[in-house]
Structure 1
Amino acid sequence: MAVTRSAVKKAPAPVRENPLNLFVWEGTDKRGVKMKGEQSSKNANFLRAELRKQGITPTVVKVKPKPLFGGAGKPVGPKEIAFFSRQLATMMKSGVPIVGALEIIEGGQKNVRMKKMVESIRYDIESGSSLSEAISKHPVQFDELYRNLVRAGESAGVLETVLDTIASYKENIETLKGKIKKALFYPAVVIAVALLVSAILLIYVVPQFEETFKGFGAELPAFTQMIVGMSRFMVSWWWAALLIIIGGLFAFLFFFRRSPAFQHLVDRAILKIPVIGEIMHNSAIARFARTTAVTFKAGVPLVEALDTVAGATGNTVYEKAVHRMRDDVAVGYPVNMAMKQTALFPHMVIQMTAIGEEAGALDAMLFKVAEYYEQEVNNAVDALSSLIEPMIMVIIGTLVGGMVIGMYLPIFKLAATV
């Protein structure tokens, strides 16, 4: 009885777990010089044999003890992934095999989590997996865009070039993010400190003045009465105010992360804020242009590239616009026309995209767009920093200085009547 191929089901390949452990060892070389170090191995006997091959006589081989604190290591961030990509690309371009390159990178890691991740990737590649398959097991650290680019690089036989491009891309994106965070973080912290100081004054300082004012026997100015009323409220209900603030922050973060509609509403509102909105617009355009250029240059089809790029813009308004562009391009529209229909991209970006499409150099033109708008973000952030400093002084002066003036108004009034 003949059995068709379709009827034969292949058994799934067994998933091999990484059995490597980290050992510390001590020994002597052929000259009798004492040596020590750390190395991953399946077990102590394998490591002893490996050390003997290297001309080292091991005296101590034991599993490295885990530290009591900080043993898990810090989370692997985008900057570490960018540095990993740069190192891997550089060594592969120099002719180092990928497994050897990963082993070198692994040995230089101080972050425990990063070290384990690189070790896992190396072991998967030694077991026959490709780099794209190995990094797919770490989707938090290697997002869809990274995996797609690596897969395209492997297919085209230019993996080291793609890794170098990814490293440059991530470095530029992280620099851009850092600029925006710097622009928003400083004023937020200063205003938070000003509010905290104001709350302390209302709870602890103003009540002392209120006791003094009772001995005057005169009616307090309206402004002073307002501050005293705020102080009484804070003394009695400070815990409720604190709960409302904390609850409001938690509620905002909860809905922002879990409700696409709320996130879209917040992102749209941010884009309309003076100065800040312009920075966010330029940032989204820069990230869109650079990400699209990188994916298109790596050989990813344009429709698939736009699908991946949408989530990299950093704003749901632009994300929806890019999804609409993807649908338009999929049915035959040029990119510049699809871009124009969103009513989000400036005329210059649309025209440069059109020129790039006509010349067959879309990726090169988009790289130029990205560089221009990244510079615009840098200039806007520098200008914002200069603008924010006097505004912060005004806010702090209004909050703290207003309360000080309000407390001394009755004293001035009393002095005027004497």
Structure 2
Amino acid sequence: MATAAKTAPAKKAKSKDLIFQWEGKDRGGRIVRGEMSGGGEAMISASLRRQGIMATKIKKRRSSGGSAIKSAEIAVFTRQFAAMLKAGVPLLQSFDIVGRGSANPRMTKMLADIRADIETGSSLSEAFRKYPLLFDSLYCNLIEAGEAAGILEALLDRLAIYQEKTQELKSKIKSALTYPIAVLVVAFVVVAVIMIKVVPSFKEVFTSFGAELPGPTLVVMAMSEFFVAYWYLIFGSIGGVGYFAFQSWRRSPKIQLLVDRAMLKLPIFGVVVYKATVARWTRTLSTMFSAGVPLVEALDSVGGASGNGVFTIATEQIQRDVSSGVALTSAMQTSNLFPPMVLQMAAIGEESGALDQMLSKVADFYESEVDEAVKGLSSLMEPIIIVVLGSIIGGIVVAMYLPIFKIGQVV
């Protein structure tokens, strides 16, 4: 039984998650069946005709479930795939083994579709390019270079190392940013509960005193009244603003660029984000260049892989300068984004013909710098968060107990 390839755009399939079961006849008159992702029956029928199959039945069904495929799963797949090929396992059989071992049904389905693509004559890089949200241009370019040079196993191993280092770097940045954000969210919830549930109880007691309350207590009670009266507006506004900000960032390149610029200028986290971006930039260029990809073509993937719009724009200018004959180091220096050490190492690499090795050493250095910065940041944030939360909650507690200290005067 034949299985057709997945030919619909990955973004469309992901957004609607439409899977079509089809049945038809091939050029030899044999009945074949299979599944294909796409945006509609007409698209599926046209795709099957290009494969020499006349569809007699096309039926839409929902995907069998599973969570969205994450970048960490792609990194694990790359490592497993590289290990299979290095062990001498045939290409198609490697997809079968890795697919059956995946716990995510969507991952298994995608690997089955890629296998079907290859089985019908597509190259490995062409099959991967149908999933641009999961396999970016860097990934596909390296696979294509490996296929052309006959060193696919070596390049897959190098790509697996690159992805593992990238995932490790991302996890460090997320841990540095997640901790303070999570603590602040919990602190807000605690303060809201105090304002809505605890302070009104104190207010009833203070009202029976019949005495003038201290100023801090009146301020806290006024805030409590506002929370009790408009709590749904407060939480709704915060949720709405957060959702609107996220959607605006997601859909607008201009807002993404503004956020990326702001991230680099943050007083505490900006240094960590900057070093992580430089590490990703140099690691990506080193990986591409060592794979034999020409420098100008390699720069196509480097900017986007850096994860920061400021570096993406700068890389586009660097690419134009390099394509017009300017040395890479000079083009990087003109951007005013790279520290002196990176420029010096890049210059040495250009002069000695070992640019990939020099950039790899730079990436190693900045990855270790990020590791140390994250550790220092965690140590620094803990006392700052304790002081901030202690001041807020302690201030509320003191304000509510001030009248109790004056009970003797009232009585």
Same fold (TM over 0.5): yes
Do the aligned residues in 1 keep the contact of 2:5 with 2:120 (CA within 8 Å)? no
Shift of 1:178: 0.2
Shift of 1:170: 0.6
Counterpart CA distance in 2 for 1:324 and 1:333 is: 11
Do the aligned residues in 2 keep the contact of 1:194 with 1:399 (CA within 8 Å)? no
Selected match of 2:74 from 68, 81, 98: 81
Counterpart CA distance in 2 for 1:290 and 1:135 is: 22
| Structure 2 counterparts to residues 253-264 of structure 1, below 5 A | 253-264=246-257
Do the aligned residues in 2 keep the contact of 1:352 with 1:365 (CA within 8 Å)? yes
Which residue does the alignment assign to 1:154? Answer: 147
SS at 1:215's partner residue? Answer: helix
Selected match of 1:357 from 336, 344, 350: 350
Shift of 1:94: 2.1
Does residue 184 of the first structure (1) align with residue 160 of the second (2)?
A: no
Bigger Cα displacement from structure 2, 369-378 vs 255-264: 255-264
Which residue does the alignment assign to 1:405? Answer: 398
1:340-364 deviations in Å (ceiling 9; x for gaps): 1111110000000000000011111
1:306-350 deviations in Å (ceiling 9; x for gaps): 121111111111111111111111111111111111111100000
Q: What's the Cα RMSD here? A: 2.1
Does residue 370 of the first structure (1) align with residue 363 of the second (2)?
A: yes
Shift of 1:112: 0.8
Shift of 1:146: 0.7
Which residue does the alignment assign to 2:97? Answer: 104
Does residue 219 of the first structure (1) align with residue 212 of the second (2)?
A: yes
Counterpart CA distance in 2 for 1:109 and 1:394 is: 46
The TM-score normalised by the length of structure 2 is 0.84
Selected match of 2:272 from 244, 268, 279: 279
Counterpart CA distance in 2 for 1:127 and 1:270 is: 46
Unaligned segments of structure 2, at least 5 residues: 7-18, 22-31, 35-61
Which structure's CA Rg is the greater one? Answer: 1
Do the aligned residues in 2 keep the contact of 1:20 with 1:42 (CA within 8 Å)? no
Selected match of 2:237 from 241, 244, 248: 244
Which residue does the alignment assign to 2:381? Answer: 388
The amino acid of 1:298's aligned partner reads: A
1:269-307 deviations in Å (ceiling 9; x for gaps): 221112200000000000000001111111221112112
Selected match of 1:345 from 338, 351, 358: 338
SS at 1:252's partner residue? Answer: helix
Count of residues in Structure 1 that have an aligned counterpart in Structure 2: 360
The TM-score normalised by the length of structure 1 is 0.82
1:105-152 deviations in Å (ceiling 9; x for gaps): 222222211111111111221222111111122222211111111111
Shift of 1:415: 3.3
Shift of 1:210: 1.0
Does residue 311 of the first structure (1) align with residue 272 of the second (2)?
A: no
Shift of 1:417: 6.4
Q: Percent identity?
A: 49
Does residue 326 of the first structure (1) align with residue 348 of the second (2)?
A: no
Counterpart CA distance in 2 for 1:171 and 1:256 is: 27
Shift of 1:214: 1.2
Bigger Cα displacement from structure 2, 171-180 vs 244-253: 244-253
Counterpart CA distance in 2 for 1:284 and 1:188 is: 21
The amino acid of 2:146's aligned partner reads: G
Q: Which consecutive aligned stretches of 4+ in structure 1 deviate over 6 angstroms post-superposition?
A: 18-21
Unaligned segments of structure 1, at least 5 residues: 1-14, 22-40, 44-68
Does residue 137 of the first structure (1) align with residue 130 of the second (2)?
A: yes
Shift of 1:20: 12
